[in-house]
Amino acid sequence: MKLGARSLAFDDLLLESVDEVFTGLLGEHTKEAIYIYLESKYYLKRDQIPSQPDRFLTALCEMSGKGGRTMGRAMMKRLFEKLGWQFHDIEGFEPIDYLEAAKLRLRNGLTKERNLEEALSDLR
């Protein structure tokens, strides 16, 4: 798989994870309302989330307080499941840290769980 194709697939999996967590926790109508709100207040469209995850996660926390962080972690856990990886809770890690670890793992072509731990330790 070429890097560009891998990135596109990763972006799709990230968006699916975001959609599934919003729908599962809040319902379909609320999910749609959140996307409308993100676009009107933060000028952030759904399809821009993969390229601007910091903005998305910041907006999520501003909208929901601690619930935003919890939803962000749930989204990252779902993303890891979609990638076929185990999600490990790491003290002090924020949702963006997990996302960066996943990108690093893919960029380095790492596929074994022990290599994920090594990739995560690189971010510390």
Residue 120 has pLDDT above 70, yes or no: no
CATH number at residue 72: 1.10.1200
- Domain that residue 105 falls in: 3-123
Number of structural domains (the chain) is 1
Length of the chain: 124
What is d(CA 104, CA 46) in angstroms, rounded to the nearest whole number?
A: 23
| Nearest partner of 77 among 20, 119, 35, judged by Cα | 20
**pLDDT tens digits, residue range 51-98?**
999 999 999 999 999 899 999 999 999 999 999 899 988 999 999 999
pTM, whole model, 2 decimals?
A: 0.82
Which pLDDT score is estimated for 114? 47
